[in-house]
Structure formats: structure tokens, C-alpha cells
Amino acid sequence: PTNLLFFDRRGPTRHIWYYEQPLPEGRKSYTKTQPITVEEFAGLREWWDEREENEQAWRVAVEEVLTYDDAGALVGANLDVKNPNAGEDFEHMPPEALVADIFAKEQRILELITEIQTMLK
């Protein structure tokens, strides 16, 4: 998904609105050759006039993204805020496949440890 951020210019920024633009069915990402289209903003336009938090939109207090040094000077802003309303993004695997995957990774870890031990000798 693509996150869109909105700031209000009517005064000091107190909150930042985030809107998670869902990808169209069958798409993994937006690209130069397959950019977002105007039609895909229909949901955003419906939400805009009566903004409320929902599964695609959330609001963050500006204090949560700003970082200050010990003297109180602004040193940064981290706008990379994950959607708190999104579900977990992981793949459920059957237990047998999960065990096989863990076992394969464990074998690779042991191979790497053996290589490191050889280099240290």
C-alpha cells in the first residue's frame, strides 16, 4: 500500500492525517509504468470531507513524530508511521511446512557457524 500524508496549513500542525491507499486487485506496487490513477482516489475523496479514523486512515499527533536534542532543538521528524489499524501482514503456514522451514534455517545457521569457526582457527 501507499501512504498519503496530509497537513493543515490553517495554523501550526497539531496532527498529521495518514491515508493508506490500497493497491488495486492483482497489483503488488505502483511503478513508473503503472502509476496510481486518478480513479483510484475515489475512496480518499469520499473520506476527505468527513475525516474519521478507520482501517485505512489514522491521525498522529505531531509530537509523536518529532525528535528534539537535549537543548530542545528540533533534530528530526520520522513520518514513517505504520497503520495501527492494519492486521498482521504474515503468511499462515501449515505446521508441517513451518517445522520444515525452521529446520532448513537452523541447518543454514549451523553451516554459517561452522564457516566462522573455520575462519577463526
pLDDT in tens, 19-28: 999 888 888 8
Shared-domain flag, residues 77 and 119: no
Residue span of the structural domain in which 23 resides: 2-89
Determine the pLDDT at residue 9: 81
Determine the pLDDT at residue 73: 96
Shared-domain flag, residues 69 and 16: yes
Closest CA to 56 of 9, 93, 3: 3
- Cell numbers that stand for 65 in this block: 513524530
Determine the pLDDT at residue 90: 64
Q: What's the CA gap between 117 and 106, in Å, rounded?
A: 17
Shared-domain flag, residues 77 and 42: yes
Shared-domain flag, residues 102 and 85: no
Shared-domain flag, residues 54 and 95: no
Shared-domain flag, residues 85 and 114: no
Shared-domain flag, residues 85 and 95: no
8 A C-beta contact, residue 21 and residue 35: no
Shared-domain flag, residues 113 and 61: no
Residue ranges in the chain whose pLDDT is less than 50: none
Shared-domain flag, residues 66 and 104: no
Based on the structure, what is the number of domains in the chain?
2
Determine the pLDDT at residue 113: 95
Shared-domain flag, residues 35 and 13: yes
Verdict on whether the full-model pTM lies above 0.85: no
